[in-house]
Structures are given as C-alpha cells and as structure tokens.
A = this chain, B = another copy of it.
Amino acid sequence: MSQRPTILITNDDGVEAKGICELVSVAKDFGEIIVFAPDSARSGMSNAMTCGKPIFFKKIKTEGNVTWHSCTGTPTDCVKLAFSTIMRERKPDLLLSGINHGSNSAVNILYSGTMGAVLDGCVNGIPSVGFSLLDFDENADFSATKEHVRKIIEFALKNLNKGVCLNVNFPLGEIKGLKFCRQADACWSEEFENRGSDSEPEYWLAGEFKNREPQSDDTDEWALANGYASVVPTQVDMTCYSALKEFDNFKF
C-alpha cells in the first residue's frame, strides 16, 4: 500500500454510540478514517436494505483525519451508499464495524446489523472486520479491547484476502488473547414473550441462547466462555458443499 490506508467505519448502534467512538480512537492511528453510520440504533437489522423509499446522509464533522457522516438507512445501506457516493472513486482499504454493544457470536451473525455491514464489505471485495463486546450496556467498558482491536487491524490490513471477513467478539473482563475459531452451532428458544394480556397480547423479542455443542473447544462460544476473544473467518458463500455432493446425483 503506497499511501496510508483509507478505513470505512460503520456500526448498528448508531453514530453516537460509545462503541464506534472507541473503535475510531484505535483505528485513527492507521490511516484516513471515514465514519458512515446510522443516525440512530439499528440493532437486529441483519443485511436489511431500504427498499421503496429514499435514504439520506450528511457530513457531521471533521476532526483531524476522521470525518463523520450519519445516514438514515440500515448498516448495509450505509456501506452501499458510502460506496455509491463519497467512496465512488476510491473504495476503502479496510471496512470496520462496531464495536457492537452485545454479542454477535455463533448464530447471532445472521441477525446482526454490525456483521451485515461487514458481509456487504466482503461481497464488494473489501477486507472487512466486525467487532462486538459481550455487554449490551450503553456505557460498557471497552478498555480491555483496545490492544486487541489494534492487533486485528494490523492483521487485517496485511493478511485478509478477498472473500473472507472476520467476526471478532470480546468477552467481559480481562481478555486472555485472540483465538481463531469456527462459528458454534447454537440457537435461541422461546424467542417472543407475551408482555400484554391473554386477550390483548403484545409479543416482545426475548429468548434464551443455547450453545448446542458446549464441549467443542474449537468454537467461538468456547473461546468466549474461556476468556478469549473469538475470531471467526467468515465467508458469504452459504452453500452446504457436503449436501451438494450428497444430492448431486438425485433424479427428480
């Protein structure tokens, strides 16, 4: 890379969340930072896009090598709109998303707006990394994550190839180190609960997370449960190749 890298930063908790400020505070040592993030929280938005109505963005401020923009769309919209407007001529060298307030490990990747943005960067051939801390509190303490965020940015700029992105989750408290691992097989149960009455029910998202393979020591859930930050190399190809091989000779 002949010039300092340009880094696009987004999230799903909104441009004013503590987590994105913490991420910017580390990333700004590496190059030119373009923040392009939702104007308010967009949790659980997955890869949702805004169809059938327009979206808007504005520049908020420039502070040194960091320029901040807010956008009325989803995290995925933010990536697509940044690429179609202010980054049309020069795509970023790296896309970072987060630091999310709350876990995006295991199956949570499917529902995560943070990782939605990362997958969109990956589709577009940009090295992309999502960061999440296992603490939903809006004033969560991100201080233990900083040295590890720095190491991951260094790693991603040097080693991340097209078609592979990273899903990084940080445990609470002291972090023993970074551990490459696979996405655990997990699910949620009893996902909506009635907080209204029997006659006028109101269903709110709730539920209990279940790791289906707590014994396996090569998963992100294991790493997090044992004090490590989990780093899952992730791809957008969702083909199940073992099933494809099995079904290939089936005659309908």
Contact = CB atoms under 8 A, between A and B. Distances in A.
A157 interface: no
A217 to B, nearest CB: 13
A48 B46 contact: yes
Interface in A164-219: 164, 177-178, 180-183, 185, 187-188, 190-193, 195-196, 201-205, 207
A107 B238 CA distance: 9
A233 interface: yes
Q: How many copies does the complex hold?
A: 2
B241 A202 contact: no
B250 A180 contact: yes
Contact of A244 (B55, B83, B180): B180
B192 A80 contact: yes
B55 A192 contact: yes
A151 B250 CA distance: 12
Contacts of A233: 239-240, 243-244, 247
Interface in A43-90: 43-57, 76-77, 80-81, 83-85
Interface stretch (A18-26, A92-100, A108-116, A138-146): A108-116
11 contacts: A44-B48, A46-B47, A46-B76, A49-B111, A49-B205, A77-B205, A80-B207, A84-B193, A110-B116, A148-B252, A232-B239
Given A47-B47, A125-B187, A185-B237, 11 more contacts: A43-B52, A44-B50, A50-B205, A55-B192, A56-B201, A56-B203, A84-B193, A180-B247, A233-B240, A235-B240, A236-B238
